[in-house]
Chain A
Amino acid sequence: MRQKGAALVLPNFAWLALFMLGPLITLFVISFRTYEAGRGIQDAWTIAHYVAFVADPYHLGILLRTLRLGIEVTAWCLVLGFPMAYGLSRLRGTPRALLYFVVLLPLLTSAVVRTFGWMIVLSNNGFINRTLIDLGVIDSPIRFMYSMLGIVVALVQVLLPFMVLALDAALLNIDPRVYEAARNLGASRLRVFLQITLPLSLPGILSGSVLVFTLAISAFVTPSLIGGPRVPVMATLIYQQGMSLLNWPFGGAIAFVMLATVVVLFLIAMRLARQERGT
Chain B
Amino acid sequence: MTTYDLEMQGLRKIYGDSVAVDAVTLSLGKGEMVALLGPSGCGKTTTLRMVAGFVEPSAGRILLDGRDITHVPANQRDTGMVFQSYALFPHMTVRRNVAFGLRCRHLPEDEVRRRTAEAIELVGLGSFEERYPRQLSGGQQQRVALARVLVLRPKLLLFDEPLSNLDAKLRVQMRQEIRRLQKDVGITALFVTHDQDEASSIADRIAVMNAGRIEQAGTPAEIYNEPATRFVADFIGTSNLIDGVAETSGDGRMTFRADAGGVFAARGRASTGARGALCIRPEKVDICPPGVAGAREGIVRRTARTAGMMEYVVVLTDGPELTVQEQLRHGIAPREDGALVGVVLREEDTQFLVG
Contact = CB atoms under 8 A, between A and B. Distances in A.
Contact of A278 (B54, B132, B148): B132
B54 A180 contact: yes
Interface string B49-81: 000111000000000000000000111110111
A184 interface: yes
Interface stretch (B84-92, B218-226, B296-304): B84-92
Interface stretch (A158-166, A185-193, A258-266): A185-193
A184 B74 contact: yes
Interface in B115-156: 132, 148-149, 152
Contact of B100 (A185, A199, A200, A276): A185
A181 B104 contact: no
Contacts of A180: 52, 54, 74, 81, 83, 87
Interface in A169-208: 175, 177-178, 180-188, 191, 195-196, 199-200
B90 A200 contact: yes
Contacts, number: 66
Contacts of A188: 75, 104
Contact of A175 (B76, B77, B85): B85
Given A191-B104, A278-B132, A183 B87 contact: no
B330 interface: no
Contacts of B75: 183-188
B105 interface: yes
B89 A186 contact: no
A216 B178 CA distance: 55
A101 B80 CA distance: 40
Interface in A245-279: 276-278
Nearest to A174: B90
Interface residues of A, number: 20
Nearest to A192: B75
Contacts of A199: 91
Interface string A63-95: 000000000000000000000000000000000
B39 interface: no
B333 to A, nearest CB: 56
B90 A181 contact: no
Contacts of A182: 89, 100
B42 to A, nearest CB: 20
A181 B147 CA distance: 13
B101 interface: yes
Nearest to A181: B87
B202 to A, nearest CB: 21
Q: Which of A183, A199, A276, A278 is most buried by chain B, counting CB atoms within 10 A of its CB?
A: A183
Q: Is the interface of A mostly helix, strand, loop or mixed?
A: helix
Interface residues of B, number: 26
A109 to B, nearest CB: 38
B105 A178 contact: no
Contacts of B83: 177, 180-181
Given A175-B85, A177-B83, A180-B81, A185 B104 contact: yes
Nearest to B160: A177
Contacts of B73: 183
B90 A186 contact: no
A184 B100 contact: no
Contacts of B152: 185-186
Given A182-B100, A185-B104, A177 B148 contact: no
A187 B91 contact: no
B76 A181 contact: no
Contact of A178 (B76, B87, B101): B87
Contacts of A184: 52-53, 74-75, 77, 79-81, 149
B76 A186 contact: yes
Nearest to B84: A177
A191 B74 CA distance: 14
A186 B132 contact: no
A196 B89 contact: yes
Given A177-B83, A177-B85, A278-B132, A185 B90 contact: no
Contacts of B54: 180, 183
Contact of A186 (B85, B91, B105): B105
A199 B100 CA distance: 15
Nearest to A199: B91
A200 B91 contact: yes
Contacts of A277: 91
Nearest to B98: A185
Interface string A197-225: 00110000000000000000000000000
Nearest to A186: B104
23 contacts: A175-B87, A177-B85, A177-B87, A178-B88, A178-B90, A180-B74, A180-B87, A181-B81, A181-B88, A182-B89, A183-B53, A183-B74, A184-B75, A184-B80, A184-B81, A184-B149, A185-B80, A185-B104, A186-B104, A187-B75, A187-B104, A191-B104, A200-B90
In the A-B complex, the 9 residue pairs with the closest CB atoms: A185-B101, A186-B104, A177-B87, A181-B87, A183-B74, A184-B81, A183-B75, A187-B104, A178-B87
Given A178-B88, A180-B74, A187-B104, 13 more contacts: A178-B89, A181-B81, A181-B89, A183-B74, A183-B75, A184-B53, A184-B75, A185-B75, A185-B104, A186-B101, A186-B152, A187-B100, A278-B132
Interface of A: 175, 177-178, 180-188, 191, 195-196, 199-200, 276-278
